[in-house]
């Protein structure tokens, strides 16, 4: 005899028990948290207000400025193209206000440029760039960016699970296990904006709610720097006498300070860290290319004195890598030889342009106008 399964109706005792067993309140609470998290801390969040609450300059303000730049691009009128310029603090030498007005009528420029923006952060920005329908992404790079140790700070990333996957795949199982806490924090930053921006919110106002004011005798401790995830190689040997002479000359050129950029230049070496950085850039370029976004890589210069501080043949590695991206993905590469010449007086230190900022801006302006086929006075 065939026995049919019992029918569960909405009013049956079994259905009622199932409904009572489901954590509806918890599900609703999770949905409410995600909705609030997305609305309050998404691209259209109150970032200008948060900016006004921050007590001074710092990484938290840089992160807030990033969000304001992205929101401005998101709100670009349909008749304008969208160009996103991204790079480390050296990319701050790109000055959108110097772009000719004729081009600014056709193209809206956004700039993501500050410390800790490196290949992983560029890879993590790809999803955001696609979400705001970016027409062209301009990446400012050189061997200075690709041949230094890998250091990743989760709050600076742009919440991309694809980039976290790239990181784990490029690093391999041993890297992923060793840096499992980093991968967890990066994943949490992808899932919750409130986690990703927790340092920003704390500095803006939340610290006042959860800390006592201790006064000068008990100052708030400074943050301890974390070790690099992938270390660099051994710098080119430099004798004590040569270093002393260099310090004397650099002190005359840059009385405001030069040691931090000196150490950065000295860390430009060959090794597995460079392969790692190039792999992250390649992944970013591949995803942008697959989505139909135009890509421009502009080589950024270093001070002429830097040639004595590291093996400058490493630049050949960078140019070769950029040429591969041109062949594989149709990237437009603007090498130093294709830009206006840079001289020592163009720099504020060993790696950042000051007086030379208009030259870099004109280089980017010309490249974007060519790629987007829009009119610019510099093309005439």
Q: What is the pLDDT of residues 301-327, one digit of tens each?
A: 999 999 889 999 999 999 999 999 999
- pLDDT, residue 121, reads 98
Q: What is the pLDDT of residues 142-200, one digit of tens each?
A: 999 999 999 999 999 999 999 999 999 999 999 999 999 999 999 999 998 888 999 99
Question: How does DSSP assign 244-297, residue by residue?
Answer: HHHHHHHHHH-TT--HHHHHHHHT---SHHHHHHHHHHHHHHHHHHHTT-EEEE
Residue 40 confidence class, pLDDT cut points 50, 70, 90:
low
Question: Whole-number mean pLDDT of the chain?
Answer: 87
Domain chopping of the chain, boundaries: 25-208+234-379
- pTM: predicted TM-score of the whole model, two decimal places: 0.85
Sheet holding 107-113, edge to edge: 107-113, 81-87, 136-141, 294-299, 332-334
Is residue 108 predicted with pLDDT exceeding 60? yes
Residue 61 confidence class, pLDDT cut points 50, 70, 90:
very high
Q: What is the pLDDT of residues 283-302, one digit of tens each?
A: 999 999 999 999 999 999 99
CA dihedral 351, 355, 357, 363 (to 10 degrees): -100
Task: For the chain, give the percent of residues with pLDDT over 70.
Answer: 82
Has domain 25-208+234-379 been given CATH number 1.10.150.20? no
Is residue 86 predicted with pLDDT exceeding 70? yes
For the ranges 106-115, 220-229, 234-243, the lowest mean pLDDT is seen at 220-229
């Amino acid at each position: 005899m065939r026995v049919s399964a019992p029918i569960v109706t909405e009013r049956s005792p079994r259905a009622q028990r199932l409904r009572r067993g489901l954590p509806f309140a918890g599900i609703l609470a999770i949905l409410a948290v995600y909705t609030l998290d997305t609305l309050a801390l998404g691209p259209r969040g109150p970032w200008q207000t948060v900016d006004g609450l921050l007590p001074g300059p710092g990484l938290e303000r840089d992160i807030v400025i990033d969000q304001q730049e992205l929101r401005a691009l998101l709100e670009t009128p349909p008749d304008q193209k969208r160009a996103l310029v991204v790079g480390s603090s050296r990319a701050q030498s790109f000055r959108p206000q110097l772009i000719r007005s004729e081009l600014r009528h056709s193209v809206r420029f956004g700039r993501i440029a500050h410390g800790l923006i490196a290949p992983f952060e560029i890879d993590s920005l790809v999803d955001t760039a696609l979400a705001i329908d970016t027409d062209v992404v301009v990446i400012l790079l050189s061997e200075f960016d690709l041949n230094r140790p890998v250091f990743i700070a989760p709050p600076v990333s742009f919440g991309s699970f694809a980039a976290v996957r790239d990181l784990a795949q490029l690093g391999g199982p041993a890297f992923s296990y060793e840096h499992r806490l980093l991968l967890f924090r990066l994943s949490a930053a992808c899932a919750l904006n409130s986690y990703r921006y927790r340092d920003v919110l704390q500095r803006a106002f939340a610290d006042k709610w959860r800390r006592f004011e201790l006064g000068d005798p008990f100052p708030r401790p400074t943050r301890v720097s974390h070790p690099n995830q992938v270390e660099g190689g051994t710098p080119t040997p430099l004798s004590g006498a040569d270093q002393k002479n260099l310090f004397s000359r650099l002190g005359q050129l840059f009385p405001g300070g030069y040691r931090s950029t000196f150490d950065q230049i000295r860390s430009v070496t060959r090794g597995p860290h460079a392969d790692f950085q190039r792999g992250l850039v390649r992944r970013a370029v591949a995803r942008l290319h697959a989505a139909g976004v135009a890509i421009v890589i502009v080589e950024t210069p270093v001070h002429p004195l830097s040639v004595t501080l590291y093996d400058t043949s490493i630049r050949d590695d960078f140019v070769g890598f950029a040429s591969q991206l041109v062949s594989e993905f149709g990237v437009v590469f603007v090498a130093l030889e294709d830009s206006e010449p840079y001289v020592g007086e163009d720099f504020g230190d060993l790696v950042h342009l000051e007086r030379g900022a208009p030259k870099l801006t004109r280089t980017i302006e010309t490249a974007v106008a060519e790629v987007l086929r829009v009119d610019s006075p510099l093309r005439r």
